[in-house]
Structure 1
Amino acid sequence: MTHDLDPTTDLSFTRTLAAPRQVIWDCWTNPRHIPHFFVPAPHKVTEVEIDLRVGGRFNTTFEVDGTLMDNKGVYLEVMPQEKLVFTDTYTEGWKPASEPFMTAILLLSDAPDGGTIYTAIARHRSSASRETHESMGFHDGWGTVATQLETYAKGLST
């Protein structure tokens, strides 16, 4: 899967995180870590299911203002410590979702100082979906998640 950006359908940002790439990878691929960073506080992750393989599930449930939200998806690509691609377009067993929203692409590489260059891409089916996600606060939300991830991962790597 390519990560060439299409400005009409894709949103992205890149940040250098002060934690080693292996730790960032572990945070994204181990269900015990996901609740510590995956949604902007004060929202909470209440359940996580990970089957880390192409076609395997990446299901989360989170609580937003007292409302539980289920997100079911699958992994499309898994390149250890480098790339993680998941989508809500399908659920486990390649069953199409009724209302898919996006495909997420996470790219990780080593930063010169021992940290991680972290790129998050949200790929949408249409420009309208991209615009909706942007107006929902993609940059602030995913930026907050990256900050929470960095803080949590630094605690694991010390």
Structure 2
Amino acid sequence: MVTDPATDLVLTRTLNAPRALIWECWTRPEHLPHWFIPKPHKITACEIDLRPGGRFNTTFEVEGSEMPNHGVYLEVIDGRRLVFTDSYSEGWKPAPDPFMTAIVTFEDAGEGTTTYTAIARHRSPEAAKSHEDMGFFDGWGTVATQLEAYAQGLGAR
């Protein structure tokens, strides 16, 4: 995939958990509250309709404030790739102030490990810079670490 350094923020990590388990953590709503936002913040609601056009809605609780995030999946390639955006909500209703489109890929990286790449694609260099300044790399890096630890715990079940 070709990325644009002016508008795309890219995080790649090798996670010590199998791809199928990482995929499960990303695609089942009961798993996201355990890793999807940097702690101590929380996910208080999660709805997933895993298909192009299906909803991907989360509600964050950050320092006592609730932050609803509504979006849709644009592409779902089983076990390999998720593309979702907040540019639309379910039913292809345009968002008044979209933030980004996320492209998340999962590749086998050897026995029991996964190459995990998350791309946050923005509509302008200014929007990308704003997201970077908000702490994209620290935040999404923390989330990747939390995802890995949570998936490892599931693997031990």
TM-score when normalising by structure 1: 0.98
The CA distance in 1 between the partners of 2:22 and 2:48, in whole Å, is 16
Q: 1:25 corresponds to which residue?
A: 23
Deviation at 1:4, TM superposition (A): 1.2
Q: 2:86 corresponds to which residue?
A: 88
Deviation at 1:146, TM superposition (A): 0.2
Deviation at 1:112, TM superposition (A): 1.4
1:97-155 C-alpha deviation (Å, 9 max, x unpaired) = 00100000101000113210000000000000000000000000000000000000000
1:55-113 C-alpha deviation (Å, 9 max, x unpaired) = 00000001000000000000000001110000000000000000100000101000113
* Structure 2 residue 144 is the aligned partner of structure 1 residue 155: no
The CA distance in 1 between the partners of 2:127 and 2:39, in whole Å, is 24
Ranges in structure 2 where 5+ consecutive residues have no aligned partner: none
Amino acid at match of 1:36: H
Amino acid at match of 1:11: L
Count of residue pairs the alignment pairs up = 156
* Structure 2 residue 138 is the aligned partner of structure 1 residue 140: yes
Q: 1:121 aligns with which of 119, 122, 125?
A: 119
The CA distance in 2 between the partners of 1:113 and 1:15, in whole Å, is 15
The residue matched to 2:22 in structure 1 has which SS?
A: helix
The CA distance in 1 between the partners of 2:16 and 2:126, in whole Å, is 34
Amino acid at match of 1:105: I
The residue matched to 1:53 in structure 2 has which SS?
A: coil
Identity %: 65
Give the 4+ runs in structure 1 shifted more than 6 A. Answer: none
The residue matched to 1:108 in structure 2 has which SS?
A: strand
The residue matched to 1:49 in structure 2 has which SS?
A: strand
TM-score when normalising by structure 2: 0.98
Ranges in structure 1 where 5+ consecutive residues have no aligned partner: none
Deviation at 1:13, TM superposition (A): 1.2
The CA distance in 1 between the partners of 2:8 and 2:111, in whole Å, is 29
Deviation at 1:24, TM superposition (A): 0.3
The CA distance in 2 between the partners of 1:122 and 1:4, in whole Å, is 13
The residue matched to 1:148 in structure 2 has which SS?
A: helix
